[in-house]
């Protein structure tokens, strides 16, 4: 641990932090010295992971505004305040063209992936400002930067997340609160295992990725830790893409 990345004494909240990228983010922040509230919609999973990591846990349905308020209150009470917020909770929804979209699924994807971040940042950023400043990181996606024939509401929501980060950076910068987005590309997680097992998909996708491999949750987590720490103290309103180069290549 170096001083630039040291998060000792910092209080953090990470939503969707019981598995995959969210858990890796929580572990990275803990490794740098932060205290982290673990949260997911599943009470049993939240309690289990919180116990494994030795941190407080609070289950939360992010579509419930009252539950989000309770989550922020819990964090402030358990940790004495809030310095770092990571909005990671999200779902992919049903794939397909917009012409055939299921509007109930659309509403749920938008509620979890975008609306919840609007509400949660509104609740949490005043706490961060009250501590003299800090960092919020909103997890967006490469899909919000590229066109796709099947990723519909998810991509639209994630594009909105990146814009939310820019707007909040302007709004809260004068109070020393930095807000950034992180857009992961194809990351090897439990949820992506069916694609990892699909040889045809992997050959096509890796040919479009200069590093020729999927990313890992730890690599996304390291980016978040950078943005949360003093190392990223002059970075705000940015959408940092963690995709092995997929977004910049023509596939050659």
- Provide the token pair at 141: 């996606």
Instruction: Name the H helices within 60-151.
Output: 65-79, 103-110, 116-130
Main-chain phi, psi angles of 130, to 5 degrees: -65, -20
In terms of C-beta density within 10 A (0-12 exposed, 13-18 middle, 19 or more buried), how is residue 77 classed? exposed
Catalytic residue among 74, 154, 172, 226: 154
Q: Please list, in sequence order, all residues whose beta carbon lies within 8 angstroms of the beta carbon of residue 21, skipping any fewer than 6 positions away.
A: 88, 139, 184, 187, 189, 217, 220, 221
106 catalytic per annotation: no
Contact by Cβ (8 Å): 14, 38: yes
Helix (H, G, I), strand (E, B) or coil at 129: helix
Q: Please list, in sequence order, all residues whose beta carbon lies within 8 angstroms of the beta carbon of residue 133, skipping any fewer than 6 positions away.
A: 175, 176, 177, 178
**What is the rounded distance in angstroms from the CA atom of residue 222 to the CA atom of residue 226?**
6
Contact by Cβ (8 Å): 65, 119: yes
Closest alpha carbon to 155 in 113, 124, 209: 113
Q: List, by residue number, the catalytic residues.
A: 154
């Amino acid at each position: 641990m170096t001083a630039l990345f040291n998060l000792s004494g910092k209080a953090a909240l990470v939503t969707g932090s019981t598995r995959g990228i969210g858990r890796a983010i929580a572990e990275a922040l803990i490794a740098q010295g932060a205290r982290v509230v673990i949260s997911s919609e599943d009470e049993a999973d939240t309690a289990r992971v919180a116990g494994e990591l030795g941190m407080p846990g609070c289950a939360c349905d992010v579509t419930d505004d009252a539950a989000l308020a309770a989550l922020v209150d819990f964090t402030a009470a358990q940790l004495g305040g809030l310095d770092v917020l990571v909005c990671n909770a999200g779902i992919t929804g049903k794939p397909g063209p917009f012409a055939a979209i299921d509007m109930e699924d659309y509403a749920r994807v938008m509620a979890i992936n975008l609306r919840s971040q609007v509400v949660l940042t509104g609740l949490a950023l005043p706490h961060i400002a009250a501590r003299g400043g800090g960092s919020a990181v909103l997890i967006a996606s490469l899909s919000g930067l590229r066109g796709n024939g099947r990723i519909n509401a998810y991509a639209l929501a994630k594009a909105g997340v990146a814009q939310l980060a820019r707007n909040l950076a302007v709004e809260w910068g004068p109070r020393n609160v930095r807000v950034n987005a992180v857009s992961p590309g194809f990351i090897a997680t439990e949820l992506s295992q069916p694609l990892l097992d699909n040889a045809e998909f992997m050959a096509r996708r890796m040919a479009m990725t200069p590093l020729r491999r999927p990313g890992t949750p730890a690599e996304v987590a390291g980016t978040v830790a950078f943005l949360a720490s003093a190392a990223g103290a002059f970075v705000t309103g940015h959408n940092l893409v963690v995709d092995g180069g997929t977004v910049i290549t023509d596939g050659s």
